[in-house]
Structures are given as structure tokens and as C-alpha cells.
Structure 1
Amino acid sequence: MPERDGYIPGVPCWVDTPQPDPEAALPFYSAVFGWEFEDMMPEGSEGKYFIGRLRGGDVAAVGSIPDGAPATAMWNTYIWVASADETATQARDAGGTVVVEPFDVMDAGRMAVLTDLEGAAFCVWQAKDHRGARVVNEHGSLNFNGLATRDPKGAEAFYGAVFGWKTLALPAGVMWTLPGYGDHLEERTPGLRKQQAEMGGPEGFIDVVATINPIADDDSRTPAHWSVTFGVDDAETAATKARQLGGTVVAGPFDAPWARLAVITDPQGATFIASQFVPENKDLTA
């Protein structure tokens, strides 16, 4: 199965969810995704940071809400960078906001919390010991990150300036691409480009790093934000388990290009997407 040891700058690499009661969240995610957890905080620490693993590989984390942060459960997207300090400066220069200045996370890495022009928050990660998600693109692991936005053109300018991202219009919707990312993936997994083409994958898809999800004009309630999608073997099963464990199925399961999706909120309010890979849906359009 897909396993990673680090990323290149500009690629989403990690996700975590701050929760009002992180320990209470563990049974939910263990049941839905099969994660096994380990608290990474030093003994005696007030806060918790439980890393979830599959087959011993880091997948995501459940932690305490940091002091001063809104007391709201959510899923955070982290983007790999060479320098958290330089990226924070670039984001500020591009019109974004540095919500939390760069700081060291023990020996794990260095990070900052930023927002784009519309206020969508994301984190940047300069890795040391922690190398991001080790297991991806399988059941219970990170599959995609997506930006919900009302201003795609403004987002294109901002993320292009900060990360070098481009946009690619596909039948499944507009995607963020990082030029050269496909070459990196092909080097790691020889034959991947051919494999994607044989499955009917569109040209340029190998460079995709995230999705762009325009917010409807008549939707005044949804703020710009980054979403997190996890792969699942069966969307119906994931939705049923989530509901049985006190979660809410906000939407779906429903068919989408290449997938069957369910939008789920966990018992403490963090929303994520469960995605079942369905090649038969490749000709659907967004």
C-alpha cells in the first residue's frame, strides 16, 4: 500500500483535529478508520496529541485545542515547506495573515498557522523528526485536501505566490497542481504515470496536490476553508459506523467523479469527507 517518507515543498503532508475532549474522540476514529493511537506529549503535559497509525505508519492526529484558539473541533491541513519562516513572510506579502508566528514543535518540526485572502486557515510544516503522513490513499488514510472558496481567482494568485501552485480544469473540477510533482511521484514509484493513464486518468492529474471547491453564490453560511478527505473501502459502511458512534452524516453517500462520498461530522463537531474510490464513476462531472 502507498507509504511515504517525507514530501516536497508545496504538497499537503499532514492533518490533525483539535478537539475539546481529545480522548473521547479516539474510539470514534478507531472504529471508523481503524487507527491505533499513541500520545506523543511528554508525561505530565496538560495538552494531548494522539497520533493515529495504520500498520505502525502515522496517518493523522487528534489533539487538545491550543490555548487561545477557538473552542471548536475541526480538521487542519498542513503543507510541507522548506522554511516556515520564509513561507510566513511570503503569505503576508501575498495578502494573507500570519495567525500564529513560526514556532518549534519540540524535535518534530517547525510550523506556522496562516490564512489566505478569504480567511481560510492552514498550517505549514517544516519537518524535522516528524515526516508527515506515512500511509496515504488507502482505507483510513489521507486521500485529498480541498479549498472551499468564493474567489478562485484570488486564491489562484495567493497560493501561486506562496507555493507555486497552478490550476488545472478537469471534468471532475478544477484542481491545484504543483509543477514537477508528477516527476517526483514517478521517481518514487516508477510506472505510476503509465498506470494512471491506463486507468483513464486525465493528462496532468499526476501533478495534482489538492482540489478547489467553489462555494455556491447562494450559500452565505459556509466560510472559506480547507477540507480533509480520507479514503474508505465503502462509503456506506463508514457513514453507518459514524452515525452509530454519535457522528452526523451531513451529506451522502453520493456519487462523484471517480468516487462515492459521504460528508461526516464527528461527535465533537469536526467535519471530514469519506471517499470510496469508484473507477466506474470516472466519466461523471462535477
Structure 2
Amino acid sequence: MSKLDGTFFWVELMTSDPQAAIAFYSDVIGWRSEPFGPDGGYTVVSGSAGGMGGIMAIPAEAKDCGMSPWWGGYIGSSDVDADVARLSAAGGSVRRPADDIPGVGRFAVMGDPGGATFMLLKGSSPDGMDAPPPMAIGHVGWHELHSGDFDADLAFYTSQFGWAKGEAMDMGPMGTYQLLSATGGTDFQNMTGAMMRKPAEMPAPMWLFYFTVADIDVAYAKVTAGGGTVIEGPMEVPGGAWIVQALDPQGAMFAIVGMKAG
């Protein structure tokens, strides 16, 4: 996992209806899916460059606590226990202490200073994973933090993970859209995501993951045809790509990014 330390490398959907979610996303994004584990209760989804995430039912204890369907992201760690201590001292919070997942690795659930959740993971395999090419179809093409504390979160991610700041874009009443690079370099081509202040209508701070699709218009039509709800878009963004923000049929927020075929 050393190649991916400090970067998002895996995403995971916890949902109320895994089979329906697998069918929806396979149609919209084009993922391939394969059951994982002895009981097949975890489904690995793959894009053009291989496995990139998983889908599972919301655990009973989390459901009892009121968890709704939700996409979460894992950041690579070479020492989960040390990173938990370091990030806690820097203003983060521990949502679930470090623990082992048999056959997978060691993980922890963290909160940033503004309240958005992310996970840490050190895989048990010594081989690690290679990052997909930029904008690989079916993979996360953009990571966007809707922050509960913009200044504290910006300082947290840049100091603790070494992320670089790119351009700070003025969005008027919506505030600053701060571009970020988790892989180094400050020019636009090296940007891997951004952060902004959480809109008032969003119930809680969160990371939003943009999945790359081959044709934004085709994927957009499939979102609504499959029972999803479009929140915003299609909207053109710098670089010529288009984005759509949406809710899946079970209520998890996600986004897609891609070009227009025409």
C-alpha cells in the first residue's frame, strides 16, 4: 500500500439494498462486480483499470445508530495506529479505533476537524495497489470535500497528508473552491480534488466522489431511468468535462464526471 499512502485509493458504499445498488451503478457507470468473502456479503466493483471499490449492506449496529446509505473513502496508511494518533493530535477524531479485517488489512474510521468521515487502511497484501490512470473510466476522477470548517480542514489535510494547494477559485456567495493535489504538483493537471464550505442545504460535512463515465449524457439519462435523483447538472467544468451530482435510489449521494460524445 506504500504507493498510495496519504491518498484515496478505495471507495465503499454502505446501503440498504446492495443488489439494487449494484444493478443501478453497473448500468450508470459500467462497473463489473464480483462477490468477495466467504459469505459473498461484500461485492467488489471494478472500472477499466481494475478493482476500485465495494458495496455492502449497512451493518446492523450502524443501522441501529441511524446510518443512511453513504459512500465513504479509504486513505492509504503504512501504519494505521500511528496515523490515528497523529491525526487525532492534529484535530481529527476517532469514529472507530484501529482494528483488523481478516484477509484484508488494518483500518480505522476517522473524522476531520470539520466533521467529514474518512477511513484509513493498510492492506495485508505486500503487493499493494497501483493508482489508475487519470480519469480512467469507472474510477474516481475527482474527490470533493464539503467542509464543516474550511480553514481547519485545509490545514489538516495539507499538513497531515502533504496535499498541495492549487488554485483557489472564487465562487461568489458559495465561497472558495480550493483545488488540491494528493500526488504533488500545483498545476491544474495534477489536481485530484477540491474542497469548499458545506452548503447550508447539505445535512452534514462529507466527501463526494465523482465517478468517471464514458459519455455524460448517456450516464445522466441512466441515473433518472434507474430511479436516481439528479441534484445538479449536467454542468460544464474547467477542462471541458461535465458533471452531474445525484442521489442513488437508496439515497446515497454520488457524482459522475465525463465528456460529451458529440
One of 173, 178, 187 as aligned partner of 1:174: 178
TM-score by length of 2: 0.85
Cα pair distance change 1:101/1:67, threshold 3 Å: farther
Distance 1:182 1:242 in 2: 34
Distance 2:169 2:159 in 1: 26
Could you tell me whether the CA contact under 8 Å between 1:52 and 1:60 is conserved in 2? yes
Letter in 1 for 2:26: S
Distance 1:154 1:82 in 2: 24
Could you tell me whether the CA contact under 8 Å between 2:48 and 2:138 is conserved in 1? no
Corresponding residue for residue 270 of structure 1: 252
Could you tell me whether the CA contact under 8 Å between 1:239 and 1:264 is conserved in 2? no
Q: In the alignment, does 2:120 pair up with 1:124?
A: yes
Offset at 1:132?
5.4
Distance 2:203 2:130 in 1: 28
Corresponding residue for residue 92 of structure 1: 88
Letter in 2 for 1:89: A
Corresponding residue for residue 16 of structure 1: 12
Letter in 1 for 2:25: Y
Where do 1:251-270 residues align within 5 Å? 251-258=232-239, 259-270=241-252
Corresponding residue for residue 57 of structure 2: 64
Could you tell me whether the CA contact under 8 Å between 1:54 and 1:135 is conserved in 2? no
Could you tell me whether the CA contact under 8 Å between 1:88 and 1:112 is conserved in 2? yes
SS in 1 for 2:3: coil
Letter in 1 for 2:242: R
Q: In the alignment, does 2:30 pair up with 1:34?
A: yes
Distance 1:114 1:150 in 2: 15
SS in 2 for 1:269: coil
One of 136, 141, 144 as aligned partner of 2:142: 144
Cα pair distance change 1:131/1:20, threshold 3 Å: farther
Q: In the alignment, does 2:48 pair up with 1:52?
A: no
Where do 1:221-260 residues align within 5 Å? 221-258=202-239, 259-260=241-242
Letter in 2 for 1:263: Q
Distance 1:267 1:220 in 2: 20
RMSD: 2.5
Distance 2:102 2:117 in 1: 22
Cα pair distance change 1:132/1:142, threshold 3 Å: farther
Cα pair distance change 1:68/1:39, threshold 3 Å: same
SS in 1 for 2:20: helix
SS in 2 for 1:59: strand
Deviates more, 1:51-60 or 1:169-178: 169-178
SS in 2 for 1:139: coil
Distance 2:244 2:59 in 1: 29
Offset at 1:141?
1.7
Unaligned runs of 5+ in 2: 171-176
Paired residues in the alignment total 248
SS in 2 for 1:23: helix
Distance 1:30 1:220 in 2: 29
Offset at 1:220?
5.2
SS in 1 for 2:210: strand
Distance 1:134 1:255 in 2: 26
Cα pair distance change 1:133/1:64, threshold 3 Å: farther
Deviates more, 1:117-126 or 1:32-41: 32-41
Distance 2:191 2:47 in 1: 24
Could you tell me whether the CA contact under 8 Å between 1:11 and 1:80 is conserved in 2? yes
Cα pair distance change 1:221/1:205, threshold 3 Å: closer
- Deviations 1:1-45 (Å, cap 9, x if unpaired)? xxxx873311111101001121221111111122221111213x7
Distance 2:164 2:136 in 1: 26
Distance 2:217 2:105 in 1: 37
Distance 1:168 1:155 in 2: 15
Cα pair distance change 1:8/1:138, threshold 3 Å: closer
Letter in 2 for 1:36: R
Offset at 1:209?
3.7
Could you tell me whether the CA contact under 8 Å between 1:57 and 1:134 is conserved in 2? no
Could you tell me whether the CA contact under 8 Å between 2:163 and 2:181 is conserved in 1? yes
Letter in 1 for 2:213: V
Corresponding residue for residue 283 of structure 1: none
Offset at 1:71?
3.3
Letter in 2 for 1:156: L
